[in-house]
Structure 1
Amino acid sequence: MFNEFDFQIDNFMMYCDSKSLSRKTKKSYEQTLRLFSIYLRKEHTITDPREVKPVHIRSYIKYLKLRGKYTVVINTGSTHLNNPEGRSDHSKQISDTTVGNYIRNIKVFFNFLKSEHEIGTSPASTIANIKPDRKKKKLLSLTQIKQLLNSFDTTKFHGYRNWVTVRTLLDTGMRIGECLGLRPDDLDFRARAILITNPKNRKERYAFISDKLSKDLRRWLQYRDRYSDSEYLFPTTRGNKQDVTTFEKVLKKAGEEVNIEVTPHQLRNNFAKYYLLNGGDYVTLSRILGHSSVEVTQKAYLDFTEDEIAKKYQKHSPLNNFNL
């Protein structure tokens, strides 16, 4: 039954549309708020956001930690298609990262309602954020990177496309959404640069490419133009823009074939770490990655293992570099 909470969620989602937020971000907001609305209605008979108090949000956080993954769905009519009970992680504990994202999304929602004068104060303003421990992303070895690249069948359009895409991610550190949105006109081979026009923070920037990737992209364009007239640099076989989630699945499957766990974001992380291990600095890296500040970059990429630190030390040791 449609209620005031549902109406305000719709209102908030229209606001998100006007801000040109990414599809992934909007999906996260809506899923969080719909599930929160179901909980409030069932457990506290609350159907109006003006009735929500801090205690309700805290009780929801406790509930999240107890209920387990995929035990609650927004649309029960689709469970026969999605089969949440058949998932290997069904009922497992929800991670602190996920709970933290839920809290953040709920805070954004109530801050929006406050700015719209729908509520006087946000009931989420006193709710503490959860700061989960960052998991160290594994640094792929040269051997593993070669194995991953060799897993793609470059005799086929999609295999060759994925091979070049992975090399682009490794060489530029761009986000997968940015990469899949590239167009041929974004390439500047003379300057060895790629203009990223769809960044996360909506501020255009340049990603730079090596001589090797420049040659890869030139060859790819020649091949691509024989079989596709798509506006995208890395299109689907039908010429459409690739979906981020679909590429994530393709990359995961390619990694599994050679016993490597890998994600697009891990390739971005590996670019950053290898850039630093090879002598790059945080200030330049921050600009390349499109971060808002050097501090953001340092927080994201200070999680080197002892072995990685040892290798960096050997490369930059004073005695190793002095002629003594």
Structure 2
Amino acid sequence: MSISPFLVEIDRYMLDCSAKGLSTKTLKSYEQTLKLFARFLEETFEIKEVKDVNIEHVRAYIRSIEERGKFQISSNDKPNNYPERRSDYGKPVSKTTIANYVRNIKAFYSHLYNERIIRNNPLKELKNVKPERKAKVMLDDNELKQFFRSFDVTKMDQYRDWIIARLIFDTGARIGELLEVVSSDIDLRGNALLLRKTKSGKQRFVYYSQKTRNHLKSWLAYKDRYTDSPYVFPTNRGTKLRIEGVERSFRLRSRDVGLEVTPHLLRNNFAKRYLINGGDLSTLSRLLGHASVEVTSSIYLDFSDREIMKKYRQHSPLENLDI
């Protein structure tokens, strides 16, 4: 059975995305979205060519996503692993997920147009779906203590993951950025860490506390006794650690103490606490590696009433004057 021209263009696009150094997670998201879209077009409209798509086809696809529910369709002919057993099977697909689908499809068609594979971009006027903004969960002091204490630091892998967790919470770095770090990226004298491989592709520095400096120095000495891996946070075999491995470790540790802590949640908590403690948005935006201050404010200026109360008590004009 021959592959459709639409799928051929998707494969070419994925090769181009891979060459740009996009993360595995991002590549999987792009490919899944586009293959689901291609399958829908062929089954619903008998479309096999990228040039035959128009804006109404995408709108019909969005409606179908909203109607079908989660895990009721696959991007290939292989059955899902018992999706009906999932607690969220058949539930509505979120606006955020739909927004991601639309963004990915539009990026694909922009690529086709820029590469002159199509003469006109039919999706140029398609409006983006506004994603849902969920309030970021703030872990309280006791929950953070419970989480950090859940690691058995006598074991190399848990000691490593404990250091990673503290470093995310102290710097706001993304987990994928930290796993690329080598020893020469660390400035122990200046308490600075160079992130070379970032989501934006631009290198940046993040900074850590004296507490983290002491722990990091101890970890480096410990790690160097047992492996000559160039990575600061390697596997037990000295190879590069995978994001999924750290996420699983955090999930197991936090589950032991009745929490749900992920690397991204720790990054969020760094950002929220940085602002509550009086940090400014402009500096935070640079530390997080965001494209602009507007991006940072749209994500993190969603304080709960309790957080606003705490921030007020720290910065009350009258309370802090001797009058």
Alignment map for 1:151-170 (pairs within 5 Å): 151-170=150-169
| Residue 159 (structure 1) shift | 0.9
Alignment map for 1:209-288 (pairs within 5 Å): 209-288=208-287
Cα deviation, 1:212-234, whole Å, max 9, x if unaligned, reads: 00000011111111222211111
| Residue 276 (structure 1) shift | 1.2
| Residue 311 (structure 1) shift | 0.6
Q: 1 CA distance for matches of 2:96 and 2:245?
A: 23
The one-letter code matched in structure 1 to 2:6 is: F
The one-letter code matched in structure 2 to 1:197 is: R
Secondary structure of the 1:207 match is: strand
Q: 2:72 — aligned with what? A: 71
Q: 2 CA distance for matches of 1:13 and 1:195?
A: 29
Q: 1:83 to 1:232 in 2, by over 3 A?
A: farther
| Residue 137 (structure 1) shift | 1.2
How many residue pairs get aligned? The number is 322
| Residue 147 (structure 1) shift | 0.2
Identity %: 46
Q: Name which of structure 1's ranges 163-172 and 232-241 shifts more when overlaid on structure 2.
A: 232-241
Q: 2 CA distance for matches of 1:4 and 1:259?
A: 50
If the length of structure 2 is used for normalisation, what is the TM-score? 0.96
| Residue 78 (structure 1) shift | 5.8
The one-letter code matched in structure 1 to 2:179 is: L
Aligned pair 1:12/2:6, yes or no? no
Q: Name which of structure 1's ranges 189-198 and 261-270 shifts more when overlaid on structure 2.
A: 261-270
Q: 1 CA distance for matches of 2:240 and 2:158?
A: 16
Q: Is the 8 A contact 2:98 2:129 kept in 1?
A: yes
> Which sections of structure 1, spanning at least 5 residues, go unmatched?
none
Aligned pair 1:37/2:35, yes or no? no
Q: 2 CA distance for matches of 1:181 and 1:19?
A: 16
Q: Is the 8 A contact 2:204 2:289 kept in 1?
A: yes
Q: Name which of structure 1's ranges 35-44 and 113-122 shifts more when overlaid on structure 2.
A: 113-122
Aligned pair 1:128/2:127, yes or no? yes
Q: 2:179 — aligned with what? A: 180
The one-letter code matched in structure 2 to 1:225 is: D
| Residue 16 (structure 1) shift | 1.0
| Residue 273 (structure 1) shift | 1.0
Q: 1 CA distance for matches of 2:163 and 2:82?
A: 35
Q: 1:194 — aligned with what? A: 193
Q: 1 CA distance for matches of 2:253 and 2:94?
A: 26
Secondary structure of the 1:206 match is: strand
| Residue 109 (structure 1) shift | 0.5
Q: Is the 8 A contact 2:136 2:300 kept in 1?
A: no
Supply the RMSD in Å over aligned alpha carbons. Answer: 1.3
Q: Is the 8 A contact 2:35 2:76 kept in 1?
A: no
Q: 2:294 — aligned with what? A: 295
Q: 2:145 — aligned with what? A: 146
Cα deviation, 1:280-309, whole Å, max 9, x if unaligned, reads: 111211121112222221111101111101
| Residue 179 (structure 1) shift | 1.2
Q: 2 CA distance for matches of 1:78 and 1:211?
A: 51
Q: 2:315 — aligned with what? A: 316
